[in-house]
Amino acid sequence: AVGGPERKLTDLVIGHYIYQGAITWSPDGKFLLYAGPSENERTRSHVSLLNVETLETKRLPDPSENCQFITFPVLSPDGRTLAEACQLSFGLSSIYVTPFPNGKSRLLIQNKGDLGGLTWSKDGRCLIYALNGELWRIAASGGTPERLWFAQDAQGPVISPTGNRLAYMRSVF
């Protein structure tokens, strides 16, 4: 963004699921997290952590053995918690939170429908996610999700770095 030559970091092979190529930065800018299939497995996806200086890649443990596709990995603003979506099958998905870099995953919520994006609030206290074209907010500690009534046909929510703006794509099929 500030200029200089581009540098290839890795190749991402997109598998059978549209959201496998999602990437996100760690808050300190040292790592990229991305969802994608392993080299010999094109029908499942996992999250990997890429050190942008050394190009070392580490596959992170799946939050559940029942996940077919792991998508939308996002680190909390303080970098201590990973949230990720787990597609159990088409039409059934879950959101997990895991202490980062190591820890036991905890199921935050299970949803009927397909997730269309996931992001943290600026203070790291809640997650905003797109589900079936609607935006929802849930506390990172768990609880009942709250629908955000202003969005329709919503996909890919993101919070601005200052935390005072929410953007999303409106996708109509």
pLDDT per residue as tens digits for the range 68-100 = 888 899 999 999 999 999 988 878 999 999 999
Instruction: Pull the structure tokens for residue 93.
Output: 């998905």
Q: What is the mean pLDDT of the chain?
A: 87
pLDDT of residue 16 exceeding 60: no
So what's the pLDDT on residue 142? 95
Question: Which band of pLDDT confidence, cut at 50, 70 and 90, is reported for residue 162?
Answer: confident
Can you tell me the distance from the alpha carbon of 161 to that of 171, in angstroms, rounded to the nearest whole number?
A: 23
> What token pair was written down for 160?
């601005």
- Percent of the chain exceeding pLDDT 90 equals 46
Between 37-51, 57-71, 92-106, the lowest mean confidence (pLDDT) is in 37-51
Quote the pLDDT of residue 10. Answer: 83
Of the listed ranges 38-42, 53-57, 101-105, 118-122, the least confidently predicted one is 38-42
CA torsion, ordered 103, 105, 108, 110, to nearest 10 deg: 170
Is the pLDDT reported for residue 26 higher than 80?
yes
At 141 the pLDDT is: 96
Rounded to the nearest 10 degrees, how much is the dihedral formed by the CA atoms of 171, 152, 45, 122?
Answer: 120
pLDDT computed for residue 38 by the predictor: 62
Q: Indicate whether 15 pLDDT > 80.
A: no
